[in-house]
Structures are given as C-alpha cells and as structure tokens.
Structure 1
Amino acid sequence: MSVTTQEKTAAPQRSAAMIASIADPGVRTTKAPFGEALVKAGQADDRIVGLSADLAKYTDLHVFRDAFPERFFQMGMAEQSLMMAAAGMAEVGLVPFASTYSVFATRRAYDFICLDMAEPGLNVNIVAALPGLTTGYGPSHQATEDIAILRGMPGLTIIDPCDAVDLEQAVPQLAATPGTTYTRLLRGAVPRILDDYDYTFELGKAKVVRPGDDAVFVSSGLMTMRGLLAAEQLSKLGIEVSVVHCPTIKPFDEETVVAAVSTARPAFTLENHTVVGGLFESVAAALVRRGIGKQVSAIGLPDEFLAAGALPTLHERYGLSVDSIVRRVREQLHRNQ
C-alpha cells in the first residue's frame, strides 16, 4: 500500500492544464485520498470490493486494485454493466464501490442506479470523478448537472466532499451505511484544508467551519475550500464571513443551514455545479418551506454548456475562483450600504 503524502501545490499555469489539481497556491494536498481510504476500509472489512469502468487510474481506484487484486473488477467502458454488476454484488452481501466519471455515471446509467440499486435499497457506493468544472475537456466530460439529475431519486444519498479530509472520513461511513450513495470524487492531488478547522465529517450533517458576522457562505465540494480562502482574504479587509460546509447534499441538513442563513447577514451559496437543481435550490426550498423571506445570492455555474480550456482560466471565467468570490461579496456589501 502506498503512503499518503502531503505537498505544496501551485495552481497550474500551462494552457494545456485541462485536468489539473484544483488546489490553490499554498494549499496542502494529499495524493489519492479516496484510494488510500478505501484500502484502509478494505483491510477492516473483506466485503468491500472495487469496480471500474476502465478508469481505475483516473478515479484513484488503482490504489485499491493494487492492494486487493482479487477484490477488484474491471468492467470496461460499460457503465450500465458496471452498475448492474455492483448491484448484483450488493445483493449477495458484498459492499461495492463503483467508480467512473460523473458524466457517465449519471447520463448513461441513471435507470440502472434507480431501479437496481436505490429502489431495493442496496449498499452500493458510486464514486464519480470530474464533477462540475474539474476538467477543461468541455461538455462531454463536465458533469455540471449531475446533482440536479440525481436529487429527485428516492433513497439516494449524495456527497460533495470539500477535500481529502472529507474523503478520508466519508469512505468508512459510506461503507457502513445502508442504501445507495453517490460521491463527487476529487482525485489526484486533492486539497487538504479542513484540518485547519474544528471539523469532522458526519454523514447527513452540515457544519459551521468558520464564524463571521458580516456575511455567510453556504458551500459544498471544492467551493468550501474556495469559500474559506476567500473568507481569509476578506478578513484582511475587515469583512468577516461565516462558512457553512454542506458535504451531504441529500439528505439535506436544513436545520443547520436555515439557522445560519436566516439572519441579517448577506447570504451566498457556493457550488461547483449549475445553479439549477443543486445546492442553491436546496437552500432556497428550505427557506420557502419555513416561510422565511431571505435573499440568497448564488455563486455557481451558469445554466449553459461550458467552454473547454485550462481550469484556472475557466474557474475565473465562470466565477469559481477565490478572486471572483471576493469581488462578489464586496460588490454585494457595497450595494447594501
């Protein structure tokens, strides 16, 4: 088993950086935290198996494959077969982790996830790489709408981890929890930022990881990292922002989120997903159900097919960069004066 390492990572500058680490300058990273965590879980539970749609190297499942070759199954470029095989394994008592890219898991295999996993309540854990705008290879690989596709599916848990800390702590909980799960995987050199805060991943729970009286971010996935980095920059300008991390999108922790948002502070949602059908609409629905009239500003991807290109350029263009977030908050506070 390989040893997890931590290193300083600078933002890639090459124009060819179509798939690159999403870590900002100065942020520590851990290599393949999902793969390492799955090996550790597999050592404790021999029911855990791994399945890949010919993408083990690109979903970090190769770490598990190398540690447990007899418990790894290469299904080829056939996501529907991947899901059916995983469901069958769960039916006989195994605990499958099935990995592919997010676009293929959601767009190609929805019906198989719904009727063969979620409806019978099988413990299958789908781990899907390149969620949202984490690749520059254009709409064919950018899963900007995967949460929107899956949120309406009964019996499905959706996880959007921030960093390596989330992934390491989530894997054993996913393996031990009945029912089907979908995790938006961060792969390769994954940021490690939640270690710096009083945070522990708890399935189904949102956490206030940073206090602040001037504004509040409700965020998920890599945008929690960006939100925390933006909050640190804003703090130097005398603006204190609270950050509420929502690693579980479904079931959604409405109580924690509504308590944080229903104050006089300007509120923002931050998500690496289209503003249609994801975190923003989850927050808005929670407020409406309680009769709370509160404006929430959405920082997320637009309702359109995105461009191809280098990730740092695309993140700036579509408003996911730290600098973009800082500008949005300052503009909103200026308008409120």
Structure 2
Amino acid sequence: MNKKNIYGSIITLFIVGAIIGFNYYQKIFGKAVTKETILYIGSKHSLDDVKKQLSTSIESPENFIWVANRKKFTTPKGGKYILKEGMSMNDLVNLLRSGNQTPIKISFNNQDTLEKLAGRISEQIETDSVSLLQTMLDDTFLKTNGFTKKSALGMYIPNSYEFYWNTSAKKFRAKMLREYKRFWNESRIKKAKNLNLTQDQVITLASIVQKETAQKVERPIVAGLYLNRLKNNWPLQADPTIIYCVKEVNGQDFIVKRVLTKDLEIISPYNTYKNTGLPPTLIAMPDISAIDAVLNYKKHSYYYMCASVEKIGFHEFANSLAQHNRNAAKYQRWISNRGINR
C-alpha cells in the first residue's frame, strides 16, 4: 500500500471517528430539553414511566434511556423537578439521579373537618387523602401530643408552607406539629394564660369567632363579647355552634341558612344555648387572624350582638337586652321578608 493510500485511510478513520465522537457528545451534552417543563415523578415510577412523561419535552426519549444506562441511573427519585429549556441529557439525568427536587408551597384554610383538610392537602402533594386522614387520626400520635380526634384539627394552623411534593403523610403531620409549636410562641402562650384559657380553648373560641364574623375587623370585638359572657358565666349563645350541632345530626354537607328555634333544643355539649362555657373542642378551623383576635381581644361592655341589616356582613352590638331585642326584631323581619326559612 503506498503512502497516499495510507494517509487517505487514516484521514477517513479520523473523520469517521470524529463524526461518531460528535454524535456521542451530542447525545450526552447537546441541547436535549426542548421547553421548560415541570416534571412530577411518583415514588413508584420506573425509568420507563419517566421516559413517557418526557416524550413531549425532550429531543429523543431513547437517548434519555441510553444516557441513563451509561450513567447507571435506574431508579428515579420521586418529586417535583423543573427542567430548563436547553438542558443536556447529562444535566437531566444528573438532576433526576440526585433527587434535587424543587419544593412546593402548600396552603390551606377554612377546612371544617379533618376529612376536608386531608382532601385539600392531597390535591397539592403526592400522598392520597386516605393515607393523610389515617395518619392525622392515629391514636398513638394524638394521645402522645395531647389531642383527640375531635380536637386534632386545631393542630393545623392555616398558612402557606414549603414541602416536597412527595412528602409522606407522616412527614406532613410531623411538620405541622412543629409549625403548631412554633406558632404557640412565648408571647401567645402568655396571652392565653392571662385569659385563663388553654391553647385548645383559645382555638375553640377562635373557631366560633371565625364562623361568626365575615369581616376581620370585627373579630377582636366579637372575641371580647364572648369573653365578657365567659367571665360572667353566661351561655355564649353562639349560632355557629348550633349550626355545628345541626350538621352533626344531618351531615357536614347539610346547608343551614337560618337557625330555627327548634335547633336550640338539640342535646349536645356543643349547644352553647343550653350549656355555659366553651364547647369541648373547636367547631371549625380558625385562621390566624381569629386566633390572634381572641388573644388580643377588644375590651368593651358588649354582651349582645345581632347581624346588621343596614351594613351587611357586620353586626349590631348592644350592652342591654332591650337594645339587643330591638336589633334582633329588625333582623328577623329582614330575613323573613326574604323567605329564608332554613
């Protein structure tokens, strides 16, 4: 073979090698992600499941498997991942292999039962509502931390919290307990003691204040009114507790637009027309403004209140029964004229 042929063969081999090398480089380090994508990987997902999810977001799903095999990546780590446009297969596989997922924000409020809370949370993380509810109602956990199945809802302080999408039910509960303890700081605990109320009792009263008020500005006033009644051993006579009793009898989805006289006769420890003092537990989930309204209540001489017909969403307050009766009569006429019977 002459030198010309040898040089030609070497050049050809070099070119072929360069092409093969470039192709391999492109497979591994070239742009692979075609658009920014939020990827949710379930805890039980396989590599093939991930490949299917990526099918519309990367240049070649087959290349993904090829690179993953070369990097010995076989078991995906569950979570939420943000894939940036232009990422290479190498970067993509490294991200998913590392488990360096992006946290999410979970928020909740106005959940009247643990069942509804579990449902709300399950809409935001991987864990299902059944697992969440079972964990929330675990007898050992409740007993250890001083809660009952009726009072457990009070442990979940409405707010926005950072979690990983694949957080388990137990880890969710554990963080909520930590947040509950953090919420009840030294200042709030001191204010509760000054009211001669436990933390649970503050939350119970706050749940009534929450249900009684549509306007946050009124909450410290309403809290002060109920505290006046408690201090003088008057029954709270809070309609939200009667609605709670009606729902206990008829189901949580039962709609109550008007409290009837017969409802006041329901035999229940939650009936604040028949019983003095606070109900045994909260009647709904109070938000932070309602809890702080109790702890920072407004001092006044009001003992009575009635929904206002002139300023919808607010109340008329009174410190005498005569004035209250006039306010109540006006409200009853207003509601009857609108044909609201239940």
Measured against the shorter chain, the TM-score band is under 0.3
* TM-score, scaled relative to structure 2: 0.24
* TM-score, scaled relative to structure 1: 0.24
Task: Identify the structure with the greater helix proportion.
Answer: 2
Task: Identify the structure with the greater strand proportion.
Answer: 1
